[in-house]
A = this chain, B = another copy of it.
């Protein structure tokens, strides 16, 4: 692992800030995640951040994420046992232990927590994830888009139940995993796919952990944090204004709803609505989509440019809404079929955010 860097206590706050930005409103609570990571790193030491080049081809990489409604995950991300249960089950199945873990979802708490899981397991973290953002469903991962068979999902819950699945495809994986998650109290830890390093090449999105840390550091010591963040992201500012409505409900393991932002100052008179299914999926003004999934849409505090996750949104809050391009993988036909607007039930043809005037 020559050349690998370490994730230390110094990196946790920027990582959490960056993951919140990439979380597009969802992906699990970053603050609870950051607290858990600080404790795990204090107890178990810094975590090596490695690249695929550091691993032999047959090394096992385990993409991990918490599954569940963010409104529940908020409170249930506690147990230290789940990663150990999943590691043991994978060793039982493959006859050898995992060599590294990976974030399935760099956005939100699921981008932060893998540092704690890696620390606790004494394993390095791969500088990569399977989304480059956050997504609500199990099959919405780069491995699925890359055509790897969704042949193994392993879940562990806070009670200690372990469930492993060999689904016929990613859609069935999602359907069954969601049912298990709801039965387990709407929260579980999940290994979605287990990859060899050789399989992971081209099937994961590399560099996203260090990218999240870079995003989290972009606003430090800046007199214009919002401008600095937008530059680092290559993002458009869709609107600046105040939150005038938050309508959320949790059904079937998902948080769904809408958020309305009314423009102020130069945006006065404009009204932007965000459609949410765990994440911010479509930004609409006057019936016209200004940005849509799989591109990223994040609400940030107007002053500090800190990302506001959906559960943190409050009436009257001053915010800006940023939108920027997703990883090119999601713009392929299979990427859009998996996580384009129609995959979420929106009757919209995908238009890249940078092409919308």
Q: What residues of chain A have their CB less than 8 Å away from a CB belonging to chain B? A: 89, 92-93, 159-168, 172, 175-176, 178-180, 182-184
Contacts and interface: CB of A to CB of B under 8 A. Distances in A.
B160 A176 contact: no
Contacts of A180: 163, 176, 179-180
Nearest to A151: B162
Given A175-B183, A184-B176, A164 B163 contact: yes
Contacts of A172: 159, 161
Contact of A182 (B92, B93, B161, B179): B179
A93 B159 CA distance: 23
A165 B89 CA distance: 10
Contact of A164 (B164, B168, B184): B164
Most buried by B among A89, A92, A183: A183
A112 B330 CA distance: 50
Given A172-B159, A172-B161, A89 B183 contact: no
Contact of A166 (B89, B176, B182): B89
Contact of A183 (B92, B159, B164, B179): B179
Contact of A163 (B159, B176, B178, B182): B176
B168 A159 contact: yes
B166 A165 contact: no
6 contacts: A159-B172, A160-B168, A161-B167, A163-B166, A163-B180, A176-B180
Contact of A178 (B93, B161, B183): B183
A183 B163 CA distance: 14
A71 B183 CA distance: 23
Nearest to A162: B166
Contacts of A89: 166
A92 B180 CA distance: 22
Contacts of A160: 168
A163 B163 contact: yes
Contacts of A167: 161
Contacts of A175: 183
A183 B148 CA distance: 23
A193 B161 CA distance: 15
A244 B165 CA distance: 46
